[in-house]
Structure 1
């Protein structure tokens, strides 16, 4: 049996515990040998919980371990690029949680470090691995959608501000609010379904209306992150809306919120094509078109949807092993962060931003 790939995890918080730990521990070809968190007590507790032999408080100590093959980054957004570049320069493969980085320049640094090192760099795009997404991508590539010319996507929560007052709501650490937290998921999915056209301009607006009130109990999303004692910091948006134009003439409306007075939470991607259209909403997929002159609806019966995180990590391992070509490239990540940054700029200036 081939020797297992050794993984060092940076960040022992909720995303590692919730989305990374189980699939990595279950994968027969990898072994987590070190975990790091700026809070050493948290790293030590996670190491004990998951049977990880070494715990550290400085990510540089993990990268310096000679037997480490892969660095898995699960930190606040600000540190994604810093750790990724250091790991790649040390000759490690890198898997990183979304978003890729907090600005386009940092993603470019990651790309350059990856190309120079020859190591694999991949950022989490778990929604591409959900059963409906895989079905739709194949269905689209078979020509069933026709030309995708317009769409909408979003993730709107009634209540669910993650870690209010903590790093999620602190712009310096997160890069923004729901646009960069949730938008990266469904803007990416929409653009992927559209064939990754190049964005050429955006218009956007952002709002912060729930910073001063209590985060209403009952939303599972408010459990993400760690709330700050006392007031904390809340200098990001809680709602972002916008419009993206692409080089092929297609367009995409977007809306993302952590808190809004709406009927119910929804996450969705909807595309209109010249042959058919579809809506993937809250895990349910419907395809709308016509057949033999009759308007028809198609509702595929798909397998269990686990969110795609484990499948994304398994795909990364397959790419490292040379068995598969990457479904995600860092150039797609550069386009994503350019879009998000431009929407924030448009919201600030009140004007359209050209890319």
Structure 2
């Protein structure tokens, strides 16, 4: 698959370029970025012949089949629509969009031009998330009653981070940065339609934007989800507690561990769970996978997307799924501003 990359900042440089370069089925045909020096350095490093400072020149290259968009999210809609109009399949970084209007325009452009659209939501490919999804599907905990999910991280400051993530008082902050990962996992595990969203959040640091937030979702089947997001905890962690009518699931996403609880959880149950968790961590440390973390799953999503293009099958993360995340982001921000719940229109 012949690939072109639009935007070669930190995400492309640290994740996508090394991943694509390691895949035999991929040829990096061209890159585009407004930073001329960056384009020159990366094209030299990876021996990429076509290097542009205008992404439209990349889209005019007939030798490119698939475009990977790694630009700030506010540029996604324009670039996805133009890429689709140029007949390129599109893989776009998360969040695909932060408004439903933009998401709909991207989806419509993909349909009108008969191209595949996929969103980089790699956290759902963690084995722990897959395991949790399989247990729910098998009915191991009955019907979902509620989910409590949290994702804690450090603020995106310093070398290796893009400034656009924290610029502007209207920035969605943590909701737009790490929020899409957690939102996507929750919606991937519970496919009931969203009825209403209420969110609260604010700034307790010095970034003058939303650095912590809680998002509450009520689904059509009356199940609930609470998402806790923060840059300010001084820790990195992502986990879910899922209560069903017949049991409980604890999913430690980062450490790839799932614990299923029925009736009473004894100290012996906890000990057994800890031993299994440590065995998994030691195995991943020995293979080096533990230190790669979520970056490991970019290759899986890219490979699956290429297969979907070649076989004309469903994308691994569709534009419609990216739209659901946009619904939550947009509604959460509206709820925080207006201090009231947002009811989702069908």
Pick which of 297-306 and 64-73 moved more. Answer: 297-306
The answer to whether the aligner puts 1:285 opposite 2:257 as a matched pair is yes
- Which residue, out of 240, 261, 267, partners 1:269? 240
Check the 8 A contact 1:189/1:269 in 2, yes or no: no
1:321 aligns with 2:327: no
Higher helix share: 2
How far apart in 2 are the matches of 1:54 and 1:29?
19
> How does 1:1-40 map onto structure 2 within 5 Å?
5-40=1-36
Q: Over aligned residue pairs, what C-alpha RMSD do you find?
A: 2.3
Deviations 1:70-95 (A, max 9, x none): 10001111111111110011110000
**Aligned equivalents of 2:61 and 2:198: distance in 1?**
46
* TM-score, with structure 2 as normaliser: 0.86
Q: Deviations over 1:297-318 (max 9, x none)?
A: 6557657454222211111111
How far did 1:278 drift?
1.8
Question: Given the alignment of the two structures, is residue 170 of structure 1 paired with residue 141 of structure 2, yes or no?
Answer: no
How far did residue 66 of structure 1 move?
1.0
> Can you list the C-alpha shifts for 1:181-208, whole angstroms capped at 9, x where unaligned?
11110121122112x2211111111212
Which range moves more in the overlay, 234-243 or 35-44?
Answer: 234-243
Task: Indicate conservation of the 8 Å contact 1:171/1:177, yes or no.
Answer: no
Unaligned regions of 5+ residues in structure 2, if any?
Answer: none
Q: CA deviation at 1:324?
A: 5.3
- 1:311 matched to 2:306? The reply is no
2:193 matched to 1:181?
no
Aligned residue for 1:161?
A: 156
Q: Give the CA deviation at 1:236.
A: 2.7
* Corresponding residue to 1:334 among 317, 323, 345: 323
| Displacement of 1:323 | 7.2
State the Cα distance separating 1:328 from its structure 2 match: 2.0
In the alignment, which of 188, 195, 203 is matched to residue 200 of structure 1?
195
Which consecutive unaligned segments of at least 5 residues does structure 1 have? 212-233
The one-character-per-residue Cα deviations of 1:224-258 (angstroms, maximum 9, x if unpaired) are: xxxxxxxxxx5531111121111110111111122
* Structure 2 contact 146–242 (Cα < 8 Å) conserved: yes
Structure 1, 301-310 or 329-338: larger mean CA deviation: 301-310
Contact 1:316–1:326 under 8 Å retained in 2 = yes
Instruction: Give the count of matched residue pairs.
Output: 323
Task: Classify the secondary structure of the residue corresponding to 1:12.
Answer: coil
| CA contact 2:29–2:49 (8 Å) conserved in 1 | yes
Check conservation: 1:270, 1:279, Cα contact below 8 A. yes
Tell me the equivalent position of 2:340: 351
CA positional deviation for 1:26: 1.8
Residue 262 of structure 2: SS of its match in structure 1? Answer: strand
1:257 aligns to what?
A: 230
